[in-house]
Structure 1
Amino acid sequence: MKKLAGLCLASWLAITTPNQAHARADVLALQEGYPQEYVVVKGDTLWDISGRFLTQPWRWPEIWGVNPQIDDPHWIYPGDVIYMTWVDGKPRLRIKGDNKLVPRARATPLENPIPAIPLKDMDAFMQENVVLDDELLAETPYVLGGRNKRIIAGAGDRIYARGEMESDHKYQNIYRPLQAFHDPITDELLGYELSKIAEAYVVSTNDEDIATLELAKSQQEVRVMDRVLPAPETRIQSMFYPAPAPEETEGYILSVDGGVQKIGRFDAVAINKGRREGVKPGHVFIVYAAGEEMDDPVTGERVKLPDEEAGTLMVYKVYDKVSYALVMTALNVLSVGDNFKSPDL
């Protein structure tokens, strides 16, 4: 099926470029020197393509004239030609050869559509980290040990867990707690991050809430006190309607995948805002790197330089007090502790 602007296209127009310029809220700003046409090539991502046209790409519905309430995804393929036109004095994007924003069939060799984001590079982190509050963590079933009183186990081994299992979930994931998230300003406990280390299926349960599980796959050895949660029945959302985060929403980067301090493009980060602040998948934030400190050569006092815009985040997974986001642009090296704000702030 040929493709135009739809749910997938929402994703590809969610990223800014290093030449980002803030436009008035009522003006749709285009990139300076945007191309009249662009030919999609193999290896492109929709994120990369989007920045060629818009300075605020999360405003894609305006430039495509699409109703975002219509759940009708379309696709873009290598070889497609995207061009700019004007309708009633407003810019519009089209795909060459299509007169209307409707899907239609074409004869073509089987080929994958251009991905919205490089899932092959980040899918593991997107799928395998979860956040639980202290109450849920306390209620989550835990590993007692393995057969023959073994304290570690791997793929093909049998383990035992205690706690109330959801009876309609045969397949379970094994998680290991990584860290507690605390708000950097208030020190509020925001939740506990857990990382998936294995997959298992339930063999049997008894009246004492003890379950027997067979380990089907493991990335790390399973140990006593690892946690057991039902395997999700659906994959994480990979197509988004990007939009500015709620006005006056700002916060801080809590951590980055791998436990490093420096952050670059397409790194996954945890932030200290979530569902209770109205944050949703697809929300966009601007990141500001903390200004450096230096000595004033005249007064000798220590002064802090202004924070500077350093990149863009897009939220992809939301919990009550914490969210995960992808770094979609990085104008400079980002760091844990950097501040982020809504583009409308």
Structure 2
Amino acid sequence: MRGLLYGVVGACLMLAGTATAAERADRLKLQEDHPTEYVVVKGDTLWDISGRFLQTPWRWPEVWEVNPQIENPHLIYPGDQIYLTWVDGQPRLNLRRGLRKLSPQVRVQPLAQPVPAIPLRDIASFLNDNLVTQDDVLQSAPYVIGGRNESIIAGAGDRVYARGMLVEEEAEQQTLYRPSREYTHPVTGEFLGYELYKVADVSVASVDGDVVTLDLDKTREEVRTRDRLLPSQSKRIQSVFQPQPAPEVESGVIIDVLGGVAKIGQFDAVALSVGEFEGVEPGHVFAIYKKGEQVKDPVNGELVNLPAERAGELMVFKIFDRVSYGLVLNATNVISVGDELRTP
């Protein structure tokens, strides 16, 4: 079959396909109402733009690889125009840069920022603050025993004392965490890790035996006894992801919804029962399958489990050993804790 469209993703198009059934099943498909051109506006994300053209927006890197007209597809700015042309009967993506204002300083740079891959505002609070760790790490970390003048709570500018051996003795800047929840697999009951909530940034003033003196530099909440001291997380989360289908995982499910909301919908952050041990990486996209309901057979009275149905997609943005965080980017049905994760 000749002349197959390949579509635009985030600033892209579809791959041209040929004849085999396997290729036809795997080829990228355009949206039925896709535009022939689009002008990027402030607030867009690459996922949004991709979804205007492609039925599978997480596959936009495949399109970039075969469209060398875009030198750096991650750097797409408001005002840029994406449009399609045809060469020898095949579609091609072209990018026409919009007018950009430059700062009148010695160091000249664009005032406009490139559009992000996904809406970062929805995951900002989870990028570097929360931490999921194993039980042995938590139990061995020093813990706050009190403050000056016998105080049991403290804030920024105060001094507190912790007891235990530092995980990294040479690190002057460290972080106090508070265990917020324990993650277990809802199906197998397996322990997956403790989620730790960041309480304060601290400086190590001195160490005397197993007593550590800490100065509180910046606090999110009042520091209390039993808060745990761990090295600061220096690894920052990238704002641009390389989306790709997630690997097949065994018993992968949503185990929690972050941020205190009850129902899971588009742009909610969720915790997943898979992580680095299962080969999951930031940018991996999972299809979400809602568990089928259990109904009673009206003829013989047996209980029958209905098949799971696809309810949306999510992209992983932060990983730990046995747990990861993902952002729901599309929801076609109500999503719940316990819903399955599959390769899209």
Work out whether the TM-score is over 0.5: yes
User: Which residue identity lines up with residue 246 of structure 2 in the other structure?
Assistant: A
Distance between the aligned counterparts of 1:252 and 1:169, measured in 2? 36
User: Which residue identity lines up with residue 93 of structure 2 in the other structure?
Assistant: L
Distance between the aligned counterparts of 2:121 and 2:260, measured in 1? 20
Deviations 1:231-285 (A, max 9, x none): 2224222221111011355511011113444111121111111112111111110
Counterpart for residue 319 of structure 2:
318
- Secondary structure of the structure 1 residue equivalent to 2:330: strand
Matches within 5 A, 1:201-220: 201-206=203-208, 208-220=209-221
- Secondary structure of the structure 1 residue equivalent to 2:58: helix
- Secondary structure of the structure 1 residue equivalent to 2:237: coil
Matched residue count: 317
Distance between the aligned counterparts of 2:343 and 2:255, measured in 1? 17
Matches within 5 A, 1:94-109: 94-96=94-96, 108-109=101-102
Distance between the aligned counterparts of 2:32 and 2:79, measured in 1? 24
How high is the TM-score relative to the length of structure 2? Answer: 0.82
Question: Compared with structure 1, are the counterparts of its residues 86 and 137 closer, same or farther at alpha carbon in structure 2 (3 Å cutoff)?
Answer: farther
Distance between the aligned counterparts of 2:314 and 2:141, measured in 1? 31
State the shift of 1:325 in Å: 1.0
Question: Compared with structure 1, are the counterparts of its residues 230 and 72 closer, same or farther at alpha carbon in structure 2 (3 Å cutoff)?
Answer: farther
Point out the more displaced range, 330-339 or 116-125. 116-125
State the shift of 1:67 in Å: 9.5
Any conservation in 2 of the 1:250–1:341 contact (CA below 8 Å)?
no
Distance between the aligned counterparts of 2:182 and 2:255, measured in 1? 10
State the shift of 1:192 in Å: 1.0
Counterpart for residue 286 of structure 2:
285
Deviations 1:203-228 (A, max 9, x none): 2222x132211112222221111111
Question: Compared with structure 1, are the counterparts of its residues 231 and 131 closer, same or farther at alpha carbon in structure 2 (3 Å cutoff)?
Answer: same
Deviations 1:104-144 (A, max 9, x none): xx752422222222223321122211111111112222111
Question: Compared with structure 1, are the counterparts of its residues 223 and 114 closer, same or farther at alpha carbon in structure 2 (3 Å cutoff)?
Answer: same
User: Which residue identity lines up with residue 45 of structure 1 in the other structure?
Assistant: T
Q: Which of the pair has the greater relative contact order for Cα pairs under 8 Å at 6+ separation?
A: 1
Distance between the aligned counterparts of 1:10 and 1:224, measured in 2? 50
Question: Compared with structure 1, are the counterparts of its residues 88 and 219 closer, same or farther at alpha carbon in structure 2 (3 Å cutoff)?
Answer: farther
Distance between the aligned counterparts of 2:243 and 2:181, measured in 1? 29
Any conservation in 1 of the 2:11–2:73 contact (CA below 8 Å)?
no
Matches within 5 A, 1:139-288: 139-165=140-166, 166-206=168-208, 208-247=209-248, 251-288=252-289
State the shift of 1:10 in Å: 9.2
Larger-Rg structure: 2
State the shift of 1:74 in Å: 4.3
User: Which residue identity lines up with residue 334 of structure 2 in the other structure?
Assistant: V
User: Which residue identity lines up with residue 252 of structure 1 in the other structure?
Assistant: V
CA RMSD of aligned residues (A): 2.9
Q: Is 2:132 the counterpart of 1:131?
A: yes
User: Which residue identity lines up with residue 101 of structure 2 in the other structure?
Assistant: T
Distance between the aligned counterparts of 2:282 and 2:261, measured in 1? 24
Question: Compared with structure 1, are the counterparts of its residues 294 and 148 closer, same or farther at alpha carbon in structure 2 (3 Å cutoff)?
Answer: same
Distance between the aligned counterparts of 1:163 and 1:289, measured in 2? 45
Question: Compared with structure 1, are the counterparts of its residues 189 and 75 closer, same or farther at alpha carbon in structure 2 (3 Å cutoff)?
Answer: same
State the shift of 1:334 in Å: 1.0
Any conservation in 2 of the 1:291–1:304 contact (CA below 8 Å)?
yes
Deviations 1:20-56 (A, max 9, x none): xxx9554122222211001111222222111111122
Distance between the aligned counterparts of 1:319 and 1:89, measured in 2? 47
- Secondary structure of the structure 2 residue equivalent to 1:112: coil
Question: Compared with structure 1, are the counterparts of its residues 234 and 182 closer, same or farther at alpha carbon in structure 2 (3 Å cutoff)?
Answer: closer
Counterpart for residue 338 of structure 1:
339
Distance between the aligned counterparts of 1:24 and 1:126, measured in 2? 38
Question: Compared with structure 1, are the counterparts of its residues 241 and 297 closer, same or farther at alpha carbon in structure 2 (3 Å cutoff)?
Answer: same
Distance between the aligned counterparts of 2:24 and 2:276, measured in 1? 28
User: Which residue identity lines up with residue 163 of structure 1 in the other structure?
Assistant: G
Identity of aligned residues (%): 57
User: Which residue identity lines up with residue 52 of structure 1 in the other structure?
Assistant: R
Any conservation in 2 of the 1:153–1:159 contact (CA below 8 Å)?
yes
Matches within 5 A, 1:19-98: 24=24, 26-65=26-65, 74-86=74-86, 91-96=91-96
State the shift of 1:303 in Å: 3.5
Unmatched 5+ residue regions in structure 1?
1-8, 14-22, 99-105
How high is the TM-score relative to the length of structure 1? Answer: 0.82
Distance between the aligned counterparts of 2:151 and 2:296, measured in 1? 59
Counterpart for residue 19 of structure 1:
none
